A and B are shown apart, each in its own frame.
Chain A
Amino acid sequence: MNAVALYGRYVATSLRAQAQYPAATLMLTAGHCAATAIEILGVFALFDRFGPVGGWSFGEAALFYALVNIMFSIADLLSRGFEVFGTDFVRTGAFDRVLLRPRAAALQLAGYEVRLSRLGRLLQASVVLILATSLVPITWDAAAVATAVCSPTVASRRRSIHSTSTPPGSGVC
């Protein structure tokens, strides 16, 4: 089986596993959505009180917020294995098993636990993106879409290398 097909198999397996517990998955998704949405609440409260900062309005900040979060949630979806590498693989000895398999270790880690609950953040960020689009004069022509897609791709690759084990929401405090 080639790498792409194997990765697809990994994704399908972890999605099926989560589908066994639909209520838990839904609640986790909603919870994750709420946990990450509080940041934009803080940003809104500050802009609401102080007004625009250095020529930046709330809509513009929200646009950045949405793009960053969309890219973060996609990276998070794809890099769970690297995030729990220390606790779930090295400490438990499970990494030995990974190394014994005749496939790339990085591929196996990337395919570990593609968590649907992380879609909560994607959903939340997408809502903010729509909101921001209505607040700032931006037209999503080809050039704008290309800029938005290309810059997060570079950054999210960086994130999957330096992924940390901070809990959701820790970024705000």
Chain B
Amino acid sequence: MDSARPYLAAFRARFQLMLQYRAAALAGFATQCWWGAIRIMVFAAFYGVNAAAAPISLADAITYVWLGQALLALLPWVADPEIGQAVRTGGVGYDRLRPLDAYGYWYARTLGWMLARALPRAALMLLAAGILLPLVGLGDWAWRPPSGLAATLLFIPAFVLMTMLGAAVLVLANIVVAASLNERGVNAILTPLVIVFSGSLLPLDFYPDALRPFLHLQPFAGLVDIPFRIYFADLAGGAALQGLALQAGWTLVLIGLGRLAMERMMRRLEMQGG
């Protein structure tokens, strides 16, 4: 347990630091309510014409949107801005001096950054879309609880895995930032990739049917599409377990890749600033 302490401390420090930005959480919450409402209206318009063509029910699509808005900050669509800064100022040198596993340290910090941004917004969103909306009589447009006990129990590991997978993607992005000294190029590539292939833009089943086999196997599906479909039991039983296995497998692959890349990057790292 002692060996995990510095990583827990790094996680806690980053988590508590990010929790200080309450105005940012409120602003994020307001933005996400706005986009959530727009996206639900878009879905409602399309379902109104031709609901039979949809792969999931409107109620599930609405829950999908609210869940996605609540957990948006868990989506690894921009590299950690502190890494870019640390590389440009030479601050990354301190990370080299710590008697820690560099990958584990960055991973713990990234996890703290993601969760501290996501959890306050998720709590506010649950309050607004899950509790307030039904209370004012807009229950049809609300964020619904998981479909049954099995879905609830399966969603817990799915949530843990989606967070771990997201952090693995982000650390990989951070490593590229450290190698290229600037986060803009990485973000320009990462953002569209993650938003489309995670299912954040649209649930993956909404894309043309021919693409389905590929879309459901690629790593980003584990960030949004798989856990959310487990939540409303669109993936249940064996399919849900398969989804969890896919999430876990890709997480391990990306962590492995990240460790290799980190080692190479750190060997070649040139100190900037001074």
Residues of A at under 8 Å CB distance from B? Answer: 24, 27-28, 30-32, 34-35, 37-39, 41-42, 45-46, 48-54, 166-173
Contacts and interface: CB of A to CB of B under 8 A. Distances in A.
Contacts of A169: 77, 191-192, 195
Nearest to B204: A45
Interface string B172-216: 000000000000110111011001100011100011100000000
Contact of B42 (A28, A31, A46, A170): A46
Given A41-B201, A45-B202, A53 B46 contact: yes
A167 B185 contact: no
B78 interface: yes
Contacts of B75: 173
Residue with the greatest number of chain B CB neighbours at <10 A, chosen from A39, A42, A52, A167: A42
Given A28-B184, A38-B192, A45 B207 contact: yes
A46 B44 CA distance: 12
A40 to B, nearest CB: 11
Nearest to B47: A50
A48 B201 CA distance: 15
B45 interface: yes
A27 B75 CA distance: 23
B200 A51 contact: no
Contacts of A41: 196, 201
Given A35-B192, A169-B195, A172-B201, A24 B185 contact: yes
Interface of B: 31, 35, 42, 45-50, 53-54, 68-69, 72, 75, 77-78, 184-185, 187-189, 191-192, 195-196, 200-202, 206-208
Nearest to B189: A31
Main secondary structure of the interface of B (DSSP, over half): helix
A28 B188 contact: yes
Contact of A32 (B77, B188, B206): B188
B72 A46 contact: no
A51 B50 contact: yes
A31 B53 contact: no
A35 to B, nearest CB: 5
Contact of A173 (B47, B189, B195, B207): B195
Contacts, number: 82
Contact of B195 (A38, A46, A52): A38
Contacts of A171: 35
A172 to B, nearest CB: 5
Contacts of A27: 185, 188
B268 to A, nearest CB: 20
Residue with the greatest number of chain B CB neighbours at <10 A, chosen from A24, A41, A52, A172: A172
B192 A37 contact: yes
A46 B187 CA distance: 26
Contact of A42 (B54, B185, B189, B201): B201
Contacts of A37: 192
Contacts of B69: 173
Nearest to B208: A48
B41 to A, nearest CB: 11
A50 B53 contact: yes
Contacts of A170: 31
A35 B191 contact: yes
A52 B49 contact: yes
Contacts of A42: 196, 201-202
A56 to B, nearest CB: 9
Nearest to B38: A171
Contacts of B195: 38, 169, 172-173
